[in-house]
């Protein structure tokens, strides 16, 4: 293994040539994940966790969604970063450890490594193969940056303090772009923000993207585009369920539905049974009545004030926020509360 690159796997104790060691217990057992998927589909109302969206076909469809005219979050967040990168970087510790949560291909982070003077890049992702590719790409572009990877489901309680302690004097910067925080209920989001806060020490920072409240028509169009790409993305999760559960869902017997629930301040995505029919899920048959839905995603939207309140409840103090001209999207930098 390259001495500048190490991948740490959950449940395993690994050492690279420099002697780094880590145990992270933050990944569900695959059998438990399948059991949760089955339980959700047999429940009333039926549910599927959004984490099952992202097989190879789902990832490709999501990439297409991000390029759609209706899907404003990706390009709006990128615009804020492009226009405000230097002032944002002024509020980040220089020479820190960049912790890229759900790093994917790492492209968003690589734009920050130089402006933030990053000493070390830590990619965190549940997909080990993709993580390895991300580390290699980052190392090629920034050979002076120490590149590490943690294979983990960071949506559960995670513990990477041993990795951070391995680079003393470099404060952590947790980067969570894309408004993925919206996929958690406010209670779950609070728990995740607290988990991140526990890793910051006195000088660390959180840099996070958050989709903001706006008119319902705009947000609904982003999740129900005219070309039907989001509908295909939503139905694809049933193909994932078929593979994992030995089920026989016919995705075309379900319609895509997305609407803004103003009372809960969230967009909801559902799959709606177009006719009454039965589906075999392993050794159990599940009847879906016409009009019955499977909940596939909630995406909560915040006002800047409400998200700052959530940060404060999670133990953060000084917070800075940047938005686009229409205030459709917010980028927040938050540090730990000093009175803790």
Decide: residue 31, CB within 10 A, 0-12 exposed, 13-18 middle, 19+ buried.
exposed
Structure tokens that stand for 91 in this block: 């509020």
Residues 156 and 220 in one domain: no
Query: pLDDT value at position 8?
Result: 39
Query: pLDDT value at position 176?
Result: 97
| Phi/psi of residue 278, nearest 5 degrees | -110, 145
What stretches of the chain show up as alpha helix (H) in DSSP? 30-42, 56-66, 72-89, 107-110, 128-141, 161-165, 186-197, 216-222, 229-245, 304-313
Question: Rounded mean pLDDT of the chain?
Answer: 90
| Whether the Cβ atoms of residue 38 and residue 281 lie closer than 8 Å to each other | yes
Is 140 contained in some domain? yes
156/200 Cα distance (integer angstroms): 17
Is 169 contained in some domain? yes
Residues 151 and 264 in one domain: no
- Tell how many helices (H) and how many strands (E) occur in the chain: 10, 16
Please give the tally of structural domains in the chain.
2
Residues 165 and 186 in one domain: yes
User: Is a pLDDT exceeding 60 seen at residue 197?
Assistant: yes
User: What separation, in Å, do the N-terminal and C-terminal C-alpha atoms of the chain show?
Assistant: 40
Is 38 contained in some domain? no
Q: Point out the least confidently predicted range of 12-21, 172-181, 269-278.
A: 12-21
Residues 116 and 244 in one domain: no
Residues 146 and 112 in one domain: yes
- Secondary structure class of 49 (helix, strand, coil): coil
Query: pLDDT value at position 126?
Result: 76
Task: Provide the CATH number for the domain around residue 199.
Answer: 3.40.50.150
Tell me the pTM. Answer: 0.89
176/99 Cα distance (integer angstroms): 9
Q: Which one has a higher pLDDT value, 130 or 308?
A: 308
Query: Mean pLDDT over residues 185-208, rounded?
Result: 96
Listing from the earlier edge strand, what are the strands of the sheet with 146-151?
5-9, 146-151, 120-125, 97-101, 172-176, 205-211, 329-336, 316-323
Is 37 contained in some domain? no
Query: pLDDT value at position 1?
Result: 37
Query: Mean pLDDT over residues 191-210, rounded?
Result: 96
Q: Model confidence over 23-54: pLDDT tens digits?
A: 344 556 778 889 999 999 999 999 999 989 98
What Rg do the C-alpha atoms of the chain give, in angstroms?
21
> Quick one: which of 237, 233, 277, 232 has its CA closest to 253?
277
Q: What are the C-alpha distances in Å from 234 to residues 36, 59, 126, 174, 181?
A: 19, 12, 21, 29, 19
Residues 183 and 306 in one domain: yes
Instruction: Determine the structural domain holding residue 60 and report its residue range.
Output: 49-67+216-300
Residues 80 and 139 in one domain: yes
Query: Mean pLDDT over residues 284-292, rounded?
Result: 97
Query: pLDDT value at position 3?
Result: 40
Query: pLDDT value at position 18?
Result: 38
Question: Which of the four pLDDT bands, split at 50, 70 and 90, describes residue 156?
Answer: confident
Query: pLDDT value at position 340?
Result: 55
Residues 75 and 134 in one domain: yes
Q: What is the dihedral of CA 127, 133, 134, 135, to 10 degrees?
A: 110
The β-bridge relationship of strands 172-176 and 97-101 is parallel
Is 40 contained in some domain? no
Residues 294 and 314 in one domain: no
Residues 248 and 136 in one domain: no
Is 41 contained in some domain? no
- Secondary structure class of 253 (helix, strand, coil): helix
Residues 159 and 24 in one domain: yes
Is 35 contained in some domain? no
Residues 231 and 176 in one domain: no
Q: Which one has a higher pLDDT value, 133 or 2?
A: 133
176/109 Cα distance (integer angstroms): 10
Q: Which residues neighbour 30 within 8 Å (Cβ) at sequence distance 6 or greater? A: none
294/290 Cα distance (integer angstroms): 12
Structure tokens that stand for 18 in this block: 């420099």
**Which strand (E) or helix (H) includes residue 279?**
strand 277-281
Structure tokens that stand for 40 in this block: 């959700």
Question: Which of the four pLDDT bands, split at 50, 70 and 90, describes residue 202?
Answer: very high
Is 42 contained in some domain? no
Query: pLDDT value at position 4?
Result: 46
| Whether the Cβ atoms of residue 242 and residue 255 lie closer than 8 Å to each other | no
């Amino acid at each position: 293994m390259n001495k500048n690159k190490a991948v740490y796997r959950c449940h395993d104790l690994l050492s690279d040539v420099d002697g780094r060691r880590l145990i992270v217990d933050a990944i569900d057992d695959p059998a438990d994940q399948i059991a949760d998927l089955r339980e959700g589909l047999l429940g009333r109302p039926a549910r599927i966790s959004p984490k099952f969206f992202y097989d190879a076909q789902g990832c490709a469809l999501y990439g297409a969604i991000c390029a759609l005219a209706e899907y404003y979050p990706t390009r709006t967040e990128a615009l804020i970063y492009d226009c405000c990168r230097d002032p944002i970087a002024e509020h980040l510790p220089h020479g820190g450890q960049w912790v890229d949560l759900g790093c994917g291909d790492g492209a968003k982070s690589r734009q920050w490594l130089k402006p933030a003077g990053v000493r070390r890049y830590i990619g965190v992702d549940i997909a080990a193969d993709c993580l390895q590719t991300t580390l290699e790409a980052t190392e090629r572009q920034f050979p002076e940056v120490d590149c590490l990877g943690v294979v983990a489901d960071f949506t559960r309680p995670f513990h990477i303090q041993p990795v951070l302690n391995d680079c003393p004097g470099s404060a952590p910067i947790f980067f969570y772009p894309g408004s993925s925080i919206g996929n958690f209920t406010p209670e779950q989001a609070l728990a995740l923000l607290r988990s991140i806060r526990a890793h910051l020490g006195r000088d660390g920072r959180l840099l996070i993207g958050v989709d903001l409240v706006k008119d319902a028509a705009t947000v609904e169009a982003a999740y129900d585009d005219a070309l039907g790409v989001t509908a295909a993305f939503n139905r694809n999760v049933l193909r994932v369920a078929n593979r994992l559960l030995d089920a026989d869902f016919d995705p075309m017997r379900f319609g895509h539905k997305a609407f803004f629930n103003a009372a809960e301040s969230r967009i909801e995505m559902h799959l709606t049974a177009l006719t009454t029919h039965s589906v075999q899920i392993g050794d159990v048959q599940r009847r879906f009545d016409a009009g019955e839905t499977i909940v596939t995603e909630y995406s909560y939207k915040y006002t800047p004030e409400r998200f700052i309140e959530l940060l404060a409840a999670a133990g953060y103090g000084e917070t800075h926020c940047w938005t686009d001209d229409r205030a459709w999207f917010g980028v927040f930098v938050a540090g730990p509360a000093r009175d803790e």
